[in-house]
Amino acid sequence: MKNLSKRKIVVAMSSGIDSSVAAALLKKAGFEVTGVFMKLADLPRFRESERRAKKVAKILGIPLLVLDLRREFKERVINFFLKEYKLGLTPNPCVVCNKEIKFGLLLEKALSLNADYITTGHYACLKKEKDGTHLLKGKDKEKDQSYFLWQLNQKQLKHILFPIGDYTKTQVRIISKKFKLPILKIPESQEICFVQATINDFLKLHLKEKPGKIISKEGKIIGEHQGLWFYTIGQRKGIGLPGGPAFAKASAGNPYYVLDKDLKKNLLIITKNENDLYRKELIAKNVNWISGKIPKLPLKIRAKIRYRHEPASTVITRSLKSKVSLRFTQPQRAITPGQSVVFYKGQEVLGGGVISESC
């Protein structure tokens, strides 16, 4: 970063250890750093985070702007989240937030301030070459967040830096001590920042119950559900079958799993055979190639069908408009519509899409 010093950079400061260390490293490298705290919702955690962000900015000796994005965040992220669940899907709001808010609206704000770059506390790396900017996994395999960044494009990446991508979480904690940042005892942030308790609790506040039948894959009626949006493919606990504790105890060694959801008939389909959850193919929509160019197909890659999923060998067999088909070498468990499937070639993120169906 030394050859980029004296440039203006805006840091998205959530007040957590990662974004705080990112700001500290950039200032040390000679950047003209401005912190921005994005106010996204009227929740206690955001008010506390704003207070801590101001404290960190004061310690680092950098200005901090507060950007009120509550309306935009609700419209683009929270409403999207609820709409997708109502359609029976399992969305990933963090992916949408990165595209629309952090690397969308924040980038627009940064450029309006004549900044050269923006940065966040993401564990990911960038490699800028003649043919464009390549997005790579972060050094820390456990903390790597490249999965959430597959919707970025070359225009955005041109103005992005990820200063902690080459560090492990342990190293970041050590650095925070050196800068005397008051953040070591702050717990890890929640994956979904606007959900205070559980996802189901949040959904119950915003979506009406729509009871329907729970059936086995053979068509036998087993119970009643209160709304398909309260379930996700592969779910084992909390299905809500009749029989109470005695039934749960009797089924403990041979549990039921959510296999599918029939929206037209409002049916929740379950199975006792976990092998039924495995599929070898999927179709992804809204595909984005980070390079901006569609590669020649078929293409052998490794793909992640959810954040904590181990990348699996697959082949992208065909492309139709903004959709692609993937065929895995080995069947994958609980491929879930609405989740992101992200394409990797070695350490590089080639792009990704939203899972629309599996077979």
Q: Residue 228 is part of a domain; what is its CATH number?
A: 2.30.30.280
**Residue 61 within a domain:** yes
Q: Are residues 345 and 228 in the same domain?
A: no
Residue 254: per-residue pLDDT: 78
Q: Are residues 264 and 316 in the same domain?
A: no
Q: Are residues 254 and 282 in the same domain?
A: no
Query: Which among 272, 289, 309 is the end of a domain?
Result: 272
Structural domain boundaries enclosing 103: 7-178
The answer to whether 333 touches 344, Cβ cutoff 8 Å, is no
Q: Are residues 258 and 118 in the same domain?
A: no
The answer to whether 277 touches 235, Cβ cutoff 8 Å, is no
Q: Are residues 108 and 124 in the same domain?
A: yes
**Residue 202 within a domain:** no
Q: Are residues 126 and 15 in the same domain?
A: yes
Q: Tell me the mean pLDDT in the region 182-192.
A: 62
Residue 248 — pLDDT band, cuts 50, 70, 90? very low
Look up the pTM and report it: 0.92
The amino acid that residue 79 corresponds to is N
* pLDDT of residue 243 exceeding 60: no
**Residue 189 within a domain:** no
Residue 242: per-residue pLDDT: 66
CATH classification of the domain holding 97: 3.40.50.620
Q: Tell me the mean pLDDT in the region 328-338.
A: 97
**Residue 191 within a domain:** no
Determine the Cα–Cα distance for residues 169 and 105; give it in Å rounded to an integer: 28
Q: Are residues 143 and 239 in the same domain?
A: no
Q: Are residues 288 and 307 in the same domain?
A: yes
Q: What percent of the chain has pLDDT over 70?
A: 93
Name the least confident of 1-10, 158-167, 280-289.
Answer: 1-10
Residue 190: per-residue pLDDT: 52
Residue 276 CB contacts under 8 Å (≥ 6 apart), including other chains: 217, 257, 259
Residue 318: per-residue pLDDT: 83
**Residue 44 within a domain:** yes
**Residue 2 within a domain:** no
Q: How many other β-carbons are positioned within 10 Å of the β-carbon of residue 65?
A: 14
Residue 127: per-residue pLDDT: 97
Task: State both tokens at 4.
Answer: 């980029």
**Residue 339 within a domain:** yes
Query: Which among 134, 157, 178 is the end of a domain?
Result: 178
Active-site residue list:
97, 193
**Residue 205 within a domain:** no
Residue 291: per-residue pLDDT: 97
Q: Are residues 161 and 21 in the same domain?
A: yes
Residue 250: per-residue pLDDT: 43
Residue 241: per-residue pLDDT: 78
Q: Are residues 229 and 348 in the same domain?
A: no
Provide the 3-class DSSP secondary structure of residue 35. strand
Query: Which among 226, 243, 272 is the end of a domain?
Result: 272
CATH classification of the domain holding 318: 2.40.30.10
Residue 247 — pLDDT band, cuts 50, 70, 90? very low
Q: Are residues 247 and 350 in the same domain?
A: no
Name the least confident of 195-199, 223-227, 304-308, 351-355.
Answer: 195-199
Determine the Cα–Cα distance for residues 75 and 81; give it in Å rounded to an integer: 10
Based on the structure, what is the number of domains in the chain?
A: 3
* pLDDT of residue 264 exceeding 60: yes
* pLDDT of residue 313 exceeding 90: yes
Q: Are residues 313 and 167 in the same domain?
A: no
Q: Tell me the mean pLDDT in the region 24-38.
A: 97
pLDDT 10s digits, 204-242: 999 999 999 999 999 999 999 999 999 999 999 888 776
